[in-house]
Amino acid sequence: MAEIAAAPRAWGGRVRLLAWLQEYGVYASVLALLLFNVVFTPHFLEVANFRTQLIQVAPVVITSLGLALVIGTEGIDLSVGSVMALASAIVVLYLGYGAPIAIIAALIAGAAVGACGGALVAYVGVQPIVATLALLVGVRGLANVLVPQLTEFRNPALITLGSRSVLGLPLVVVIAAALTVLVAFLVKRTTFGRQLVAVGGNRAASRLSGLPVRRVLVTVYVISGLLAAVAGVLATSRLQASDPTSLGLLMELSAITAVVVGGTPLTGGRVRVLGTVMGALLIQLLQATLIKHNLPQSWTQMVQAVIILAAVYAARGRRA
């Protein structure tokens, strides 16, 4: 009943700072880390270094994009890492039919896992975290059953996918960039994108406005599964081997971090595509910086923990 004219001017300084951090914190941090490295890290500005960093971050970016859409609907998808492993296993299994068929089979499998999760969430009403947790466990197991140990392959088409360059850029990176543009287009320009954020922002209002809430939810999980499968295929082709035991392990954590740090609130209603990419870059850059300066891997994880907490805390301030 109160007039909620929450004019930004009326906010307290702390809240305003948090809001700014949620909005631009990730860009500022990436910039700061870049500057730091330019000054203090030898060989940082070399092309080879950039190539390596970008190739490493590409699968994380692709997975995070799908997850950002899910989180935009106030959901979560923990199964992305396992889907990567499943895609990897299926590619190797079907490689006998040629690389294109194998890749398509892997993508279909990823979409199917997403459809299962989406159906559980949208039609049965299971909490997203539980539904996708079951998939995380089961799908990883399935991948391991299909391909029990590390299996190398020699299919030239699949290997080129991971090692080829287009216009001087690694193909993997080009694909990640193209998918980023595609997802941004999906969010900004399509009916589905508009509906997605509305469903996440206010489900009751979306239903009253006649939106196909359930269909939107299922689609979002299907996209997430599909993108995770793409990431799995690319990672497999880089590795030149399928390794379902460890491929994509804990990827859900990196992806959630990237999305949250990128400014997409866990409470839904908003998807920040570029922010998500920046979030993934930030973590990659952080890792690289620590390694280059001989600080151990363990630091990355501890710093990452602090960053997640800070990002979610900042998002909370924005809501208050």
CB of 171 to other proteins, least distance (A): 28
Q: Supply φ then ψ for residue 112, to 5 degrees.
A: -65, -40
Closest to other proteins by CB, 76 vs 161, is: 76
- Tell how far CA 277 is from the center of its chain: 8
Closest to other proteins by CB, 180 vs 195, is: 195
CB of 147 to other proteins, least distance (A): 10
Q: Supply φ then ψ for residue 23, to 5 degrees.
A: -75, -50
Contacts of 10 (CB under 8 A, 6+ apart): none
Nearest-angstrom CA–CA distance, 28 and 41: 19
Closest to other proteins by CB, 134 vs 239, is: 134
CB of 208 to other proteins, least distance (A): 5
Nearest-angstrom CA–CA distance, 179 and 273: 10
CB of 149 to other proteins, least distance (A): 9
Closest to other proteins by CB, 2 vs 48, is: 2
Nearest-angstrom CA–CA distance, 237 and 132: 26
Nearest-angstrom CA–CA distance, 164 and 238: 10
CB of 168 to other proteins, least distance (A): 33
And the tokens for 161? 């996918």
Closest to other proteins by CB, 51 vs 194, is: 194
